[in-house]
Amino acid sequence: MERKECLLWLNSIGVNHRQMKNLDHYFSVLSDVLNGSINDLQNCGIRSQKIQSQIINKNMESFNSYKVEMKKLGIDFMTHEDEHYPGQLKNIPDPPFILYYMGDRRCLNKDAIGMVGARKATPVGRHIARDLGRDLAKNQYVVVSGMAYGIDTEAHRGAVESKGLTIAVLGCGLDQNYPSHNRNLKKELLSLGGAIVSEFPVGTAPLARHFPQRNRIISGLSKGVIVVEAGLKSGSLITVDYALEQNKDVFSVPGSVLSSVSEGTNHLIKEGAIPITDAKDVLQYYGFEERPEGNDVKTFDHLSEVEQKICKCIMKHQPIHTDEIHLATRIPMSDLLPVLTILEIKNEITKLNNKFILQS
Amino acid sequence: MDASEVNMISKIKSAVLFGLEGQVIDVETDLANGLPAYNIVGLPDTTVKESKERVRAAIKNSNLDFPMKRITLNLSPAHTRKEGAHFDLPLAIGILTASQQIKEKDAYDFAYLGELSLNGSLVGIRGILPLVITLRNQGIRRIVVPFDNRNEAAIVEDVDIYPCRSLNEVVESLIGNKPWESYSIPSDFFKQDLDVDSSLDFREVVGQEHVKRAMEIAAAGAHNMLIIGPPGAGKTMLARRFPTILPDLSYEEALEITKIYSVSGLLHSGSGLMKIRPFRSPHHTVSSTSLVGGGRVPKPGEVSLSHFGVLFLDEFTEFNRSALEVMRQPMEDEKVTISRVNGTVTYPAKFTLLASMNPCPCGFAGDMGSTQSCTCTPLEVKRYMSKVSGPLLDRIDLHIEVSAVKFEDLSGKTTEGKGTVEMKEMVDLARTVQVNRYKGSQITYNSQLTGSQFKKYCRIDESTEAILEQAFQKMKMSARSYHKVLKVARTIADLDGYEHIEMNHVLEALQYRNLDRNYY
């Protein structure tokens, strides 16, 4: 059996990365594993009877139906020896042997920035992640993240918003409908030329213990990783560990010292991560001047006097509640509310949980 | 002469209630020779059956004779169920008349209502107001009632009320020893209310001008409202002040409310017409029956007790789903119909709904001003918000989010906001406009607008229509919200004194559809 096929087959029956490494060292030619004994397998760390019997019995039928299944779902794969295998990923200490992918594999070789963060992100954090995703993608960076609830989803959404490229790395099989509410997001990113990848075989459930493993791929594919919000014990910090191991840059968005979801990010900055507040900081770090979008500085000259007054007030205190705008500007409530609606329609401001902020 | 000439059957007038509707009852008493017996017929329920013993003791203890005869009391008509403790007095008078301790022609002048205690004193009863109204409507103009019920009974016009403290007093007057004196409510009688403390004022609420404005709108157009906010934001405090800006009750409205409270036994002894709109705030563990009404003898539920007033459901999401479901029909029909074997009882239920809830399970979602941040996962938040969905939410026109008040606001650095007096003034004006506008039509308030009425009363010009469409797209609202926005805009225009809805009014109305936006 060819090495490429063999790798796929072993992965499909559930041989994990560590076991695969052992097998690769143990047998001079990987396909020799077909002739291996149970003892050999045990020596390589394969203790599961199920996997052992699969290997011993050389059950090719199920492998064939596995490949058929893959084709049906539009899932392709590459091994770490493939010419298309992403260069960045090849250079990490422990590159995955197999990378399943859906979508356009070319984006895997483009310049990418990873973004991770808390699942229980605050609305502010999500907003920032969205902005970052959008602006990075707009400036030709591929946005890499994990498609999880919270920061990850917003990062992908932002990239999709500016019709850019984004890669989702999953901690489960590519066939799994997880997270369920991101089904459309997945479709969208694929249609724009992005990709969804995983080193886990088709049919693998999204178990918690898979996520650290997949995090190394997020940082592995990127030039640098941005942490938007993270608690002190967040899984995102594991991604940071991998990034450091892989010699990648680590960026962190500072947050309120009273916010628990910023404890991790603030800590990272203390430890030496690069503090950033927007995509421009990242772009400049890599020596890339941002393409100016017309007016960078926020001016309100095109607005009416009342509108300007309100916008300036929001800019100063954002995020700000309607009542506070009323107190600060002294505009009567029944006059203030209509103007707020107009400003929203004009996209000058937006409402985030009943508080207003300037639309960037 | 034969026995038939000696007319020992007396016929005393009283009444019975079925819900808020009453029926005149003739209490017939027959004394026959034979072994002493004492029976009540005519479908008396347990309370009425027990009257027997109370009546006997009361008569004896009033130093009157209890006849040792075969006594049969019939409550006519016989096919309806009789309930209530107020038959004691008419039964007693019936026996006294039949045994000729009172002359018929004296007794037949009046109708009688009242419960007797064993020593003969007259005890106040519930439901006096609708009972008296029933008798008055049947042409009975003189009614004897317990002393405690005098102020409630005297509300009714065209009727003479004679409050008495005991059976003795009644008898003394009937036999002519004491003159009858009809009772009228003293002009300085302070018409009290229940449930609403008139010392509450919106001026006491610091900041929160946005909610105050929303409440102004809700009060003016009778719109239902949902308040979303973290614990400590003052949702309950605001809700309690809402009734203070509602327009004064008309006489008819006050009468209807007093009837309901009378029947529920919620009027304090000695109290008269209820003058302030009710405010009901049931705990979220309330049962469907308590909420909507029911019981073996159907009693009004919270929705009826808040008739012409406010029903406040605090912690809306904690309420039993099935209990809330049951509210749908009354909100649609503005009344509650309860069926029993004997017939159907209808209680009116035209109330304004105020509901409050937290923005997420832990209560602090999105409240970036406070030191506590939300600890809920997006899924938890989504699930929580989805509880607030469906038909009940569909009836709520205004959504407003409040945030916790900051300390500097509490310490008085801010200027004083609007108070009850100014807000009520505006509400009254807007209400008057509506009364005039909808005269002759089926509806009274803007919140009741439906279907083709929108075309008639809520026209907007092209540019406003265009802005509305833009806003809908930007804020991701659905078609359902369209009419709600128009209704609210109509009320805002009324508050503003405008006959036609202007763009400003629509723009403001859009700020009250928070739940339609897809935040979560």
- The pLDDT tens digits for B332-388 are 889 999 888 777 889 999 999 999 988 878 766 555 444 456 666 667 777 777 776
C-beta atoms of B213 and A333 within 8 A: yes
Closest CA to B447 of B482, B400, B486: B486
pLDDT-wise least confident of A277-281, A287-291, B185-189: A287-291
Residues of B in contact with A234 (CB under 8 A): none
Examine the pLDDT at A187 and tell me if it is beyond 60.
Answer: yes
How close is the nearest chain B Cα to the Cα of A282, in Å? 27
pLDDT cut 90: percent of chain A above it: 52
pLDDT cut 70: percent of chain B above it: 89
CA angle centred on B241, ends B239 and B247, rounded to 5°: 110
Mean pLDDT value of segment A120-131: 91
Examine the pLDDT at A173 and tell me if it is beyond 80.
Answer: yes
Residue B81 CB partners (closer than 8 Å, separation 6+)? B43, B45, B342
For residues A304 and B162, the model is more confident at B162
Closest CA to B315 of B295, B291, B286: B286
Give the pLDDT score at B295.
84
Mean pLDDT value of segment B146-165: 92
Query: Which amino acid would we find at residue A11?
Result: N
Examine the pLDDT at A296 and tell me if it is beyond 80.
Answer: no
Examine the pLDDT at B7 and tell me if it is beyond 60.
Answer: no
Examine the pLDDT at B2 and tell me if it is beyond 70.
Answer: no
Q: What is the tens place of the pLDDT at every residue in B10-55? A: 999 999 998 888 999 999 999 998 888 899 999 998 999 999 999 9
| Residue B492 near chain A (CB below 8 Å) | yes
Helix (H, G, I), strand (E, B) or coil at B15: strand
Residue B444 — very low, low, confident or very high, per pLDDT cuts 50/70/90?
confident
The partner residue sitting opposite B514, judged by closest CB among A261, A326, A354, is: A354
Examine the pLDDT at A348 and tell me if it is beyond 90.
Answer: no
Give the pLDDT score at A226.
96
Residues of B in contact with A341 (CB under 8 A): 471, 507-508, 510-511
Tell me: ipTM over 0.85: no
CB A197, CB A168: distance < 8 Å: yes
Mean pLDDT value of segment B259-269: 86
- Specify burial of residue A289 (Cβ count, 10 A radius: 0-12, 13-18, 19+): exposed
Examine the pLDDT at B440 and tell me if it is beyond 90.
Answer: no
Q: What is the tens place of the pLDDT at every residue in B270-310? A: 777 888 889 999 999 999 899 999 887 788 999 999 999 99
DSSP state, residue B285: T
Mean pLDDT value of segment A203-230: 93
| Residue A260 near chain B (CB below 8 Å) | yes
- B/e letters for A225-242, b = 16+ CB within 10 Å, e = fewer, are bbbbbbbeebbbbbbbeb
Residue A159 — very low, low, confident or very high, per pLDDT cuts 50/70/90?
very high
Average pLDDT, chain B: 85
The partner residue sitting opposite B213, judged by closest CB among A124, A149, A334, is: A334
